[in-house]
Structure 1
Amino acid sequence: MKEFFKIIVSTVTYPVLMGTCLLLHYLILDLDFSLQIATYIPVAVGLTVITLMELKFPHRQEWLAKRGDVLNDLSYMFLVQVLLVKILSFFFSITLLEMLRSSGYTFDRLWPHTWPVYTQAVLMVLSADFLRYWLHRLSHKWMLLWRLHAVHHSPHKLYWINVGRFHPIEKGLQFLFDSLPFIVLGVSGKVLALYFVFFAINGFFQHCNIELKLGPLNYIVSGPELHRWHHSVVIGESNKNYGNNLIIWDLVFGTWYLPKTKMVRELGLKNRKYPLGFLSQLKTPFKKGMDQG
């Protein structure tokens, strides 16, 4: 009975929690609360459930986060994922958009603003993921980009908090690919908020240390089963599954990878001396010989 319960939990957790958070976002908006409240409450609910499930149903016991890991990853989460993104959003929204408008350039007409919000959000996920797919893939091919991206691949275990472990320069590049185009296109706040709820919850799931089985969803979203292979220390395994939210572009371009007969073993970089601390990793990409895949 206990094993049966675990199977049920591992199968339904992703679709049920994702669906609940998206529905909660819709309901809070329908009650005329602010867009910020409707966005951050569902994300907080999803994050709380995922955190508790990591403790209750860990995929690997040895992947449970230690205090030192958490402090480093929280630094990335708040300083890079939150503060830096806020600064970039403000800067580009104020300076670039005003510059374009004052010059008579406008790109609003290129976006289907009259479509339903959910349809626009789907289009945004598809197009943003296409751009991020190629940035991610090139980050594994071009040494200059790989030195930055190696920071994200440095952890030896996966849990939800280290989803935000990106060097600030790489995060800036990601912003240019998955956020700035949609700001320039004038995508509405409601669409951006809905996208963010999906983006955040899926990202937490992607790195989570929970025993999950996504089944057919492994052909749609980039979930934990797929992403663990992307963090393998084996180059032939890690150069797969580049999808950010979706795995569709990996299927299209032949980089989808989910073997049925083996499990991923070691994670991280071949260079096991690669620094893991937040401050150390800020300068590591500029040191030679530290970026071995």
Structure 2
Amino acid sequence: MSSLPRPKRSYAAYSSALLGLLSLFGVLCFHFPELLTSREFRAVYSETFARNLLLVGLVAAFLLGTLAILRGRNRRIALIGVGSATLAVLVGGTNVQFDSIGKTSYSLGLDWFVISLFFSALVFVPMERFLGKRDISPLRPGWRTDLAYFFMSHVLVQFILILVTASTSTIAGLAMFPSLKAAIQSLPVWGQFLIAVFVADLAQALLHRAYHNIPWLWRFHAVHHSSREMDWLAGSRIHFVEIVMTRSAVLLPLLILGFSASAVNAYVVLVGLQAVLAHANLGIRFGPLEYLLVLPRYHHWHHARQKEYIDVNYAIHLPLVDMLMGTFKLPRKQEEWPQEYGVMKLETVPRGIMEQHLMPFRRKKDYDDYVA
């Protein structure tokens, strides 16, 4: 007796749930801006922009949720969206008022999570739907785990910055290169930015290679490589310890060499954009540009579950870095893509964000519930 096919998921219902919850988070940010919003990120957007974005999210959550309920598709999920949006309105909606935002010794980046997730999904979900190399759903297996990683890395952004700053500032202060600093600082911002990209990419590629070749470091990095599907959200799956180590290794040479704040900030923007793009499920043919910039096909081969690609393509921005390191490898035919992604031994990485964070500290080598 054959089993009945699973009903298709309603994108309207899941979109409603996402927008409803994000709207509720947004209202909470208006109520508790000192505790829930990042001071650095608040400087990027205006209050008017935030209120208008909240209004769009609320309206869309109600409309999409109602549509899914009327069609009888994933009603429980749709009710989460409509219910969250309703609660957001009841606790103030777009009318929450506040005076000045006070200073606190720490805060969460909930605003960074809400805005980043909203626009990333808005851009990449349609792009992957129509330009994707592989026909995979945004709700593919493991998406909840990757969304949890996305939430963690964005909400805890200020704590990550504190740890990174603490781990690099003292060392940077001890290592002084006045003449080199002066030469770099004499360059225009765009020149500093280009050099910063190369220096940071070289530092990160060297550490990246160490992740793959030093067993105790690999246990942290294996979490990132455990994704069985590659899309815009998969790049978020990074162990918290790896985030701190990698950002410290990248920030240290930039601090030592005295790059301007504008150049460093521009680099940080590039990191955010390219990290999402490199993992995205996009089958676009970029031609010779693939040899100048790290694009999806290039980085996908780094994630390939094939022995001949275990020790290649470590660069995050520039393939030139891999060429200099002798780790560049890319099939000439642009239609050649990996057939499978993930760690070579799937049973060594468990499912779920909590189990994966504990995994590097355990002696256990194999798991029954693993990323298969």
TM-score (norm: length of structure 1): 0.75
- Secondary structure of 2:213's counterpart equals coil
Q: What is the aligned residue count? A: 254
Contact 1:92 1:180 in 2 (8 A): no
User: Which of these residues, 293, 314, 337, is aligned with residue 221 of structure 1?
Assistant: 293
Between stretches 141-150 and 49-58, larger displacement belongs to: 49-58
Counterpart position of 1:70: 143
Counterpart position of 2:229: 157
Q: Identify if the C-alpha distance between structure 1 residues 240 and 203 changes in structure 2 by more than 3 Å, giving closer, same or farther.
A: same
Aligned-residue offset at 1:178: 0.9
Contact 1:43 1:197 in 2 (8 A): no
Between stretches 193-202 and 222-231, larger displacement belongs to: 193-202
The one-letter code matched in structure 2 to 1:269 is V
Aligned-residue offset at 1:147: 0.9
- Check if 1:289 corresponds to 2:289: no
Aligned-residue offset at 1:69: 2.8
Counterpart position of 1:277: 352
The one-letter code matched in structure 2 to 1:278 is I
User: Which of these residues, 137, 145, 163, is aligned with residue 209 of structure 2?
Assistant: 137
Give a deviation string over 1:93-150, Cα, whole Å, max 9, x none: 479648976x8x7667643122111111111110000011111111111111111110
* Cα distance in 2 between the residues matched to 1:74 and 1:265: 24
Q: Identify if the C-alpha distance between structure 1 residues 231 and 100 changes in structure 2 by more than 3 Å, giving closer, same or farther.
A: closer
Counterpart position of 1:14: none
Counterpart position of 1:51: 125
* Cα distance in 2 between the residues matched to 1:181 and 1:231: 27
- Check if 1:264 corresponds to 2:338: yes
Q: Identify if the C-alpha distance between structure 1 residues 42 and 198 changes in structure 2 by more than 3 Å, giving closer, same or farther.
A: farther
- Secondary structure of 1:36's counterpart equals coil
The one-letter code matched in structure 1 to 2:365 is G
The one-letter code matched in structure 2 to 1:263 is W
Contact 1:35 1:190 in 2 (8 A): no
Counterpart position of 1:4: none
Alignment of 1:4-43 (within 5 A): 36-37=44-45
* Cα distance in 2 between the residues matched to 1:114 and 1:43: 37
The one-letter code matched in structure 1 to 2:148 is S
Q: Identify if the C-alpha distance between structure 1 residues 272 and 100 changes in structure 2 by more than 3 Å, giving closer, same or farther.
A: closer
Q: Identify if the C-alpha distance between structure 1 residues 100 and 119 changes in structure 2 by more than 3 Å, giving closer, same or farther.
A: closer
Larger radius of gyration: 2
* Cα distance in 2 between the residues matched to 1:201 and 1:237: 24
* Cα distance in 2 between the residues matched to 1:100 and 1:286: 30
Give a deviation string over 1:12-57, Cα, whole Å, max 9, x none: xxxxxxxxxxxxxxxxxxxxxx96349x899986763333201222
Contact 2:164 2:247 in 1 (8 A): no
The one-letter code matched in structure 2 to 1:213 is R
* Cα distance in 2 between the residues matched to 1:50 and 1:58: 10
* Cα distance in 2 between the residues matched to 1:92 and 1:202: 21
Contact 2:319 2:328 in 1 (8 A): yes
- Could you list the runs of 5+ residues in structure 1 that have no partner in the other structure? 1-33
- Secondary structure of 2:185's counterpart equals coil
Between stretches 64-73 and 240-249, larger displacement belongs to: 64-73
- Secondary structure of 2:278's counterpart equals helix
Contact 2:131 2:284 in 1 (8 A): no
- Could you list the runs of 5+ residues in structure 2 that have no partner in the other structure? 1-41, 47-111
- Check if 1:79 corresponds to 2:152: yes
Counterpart position of 2:20: none
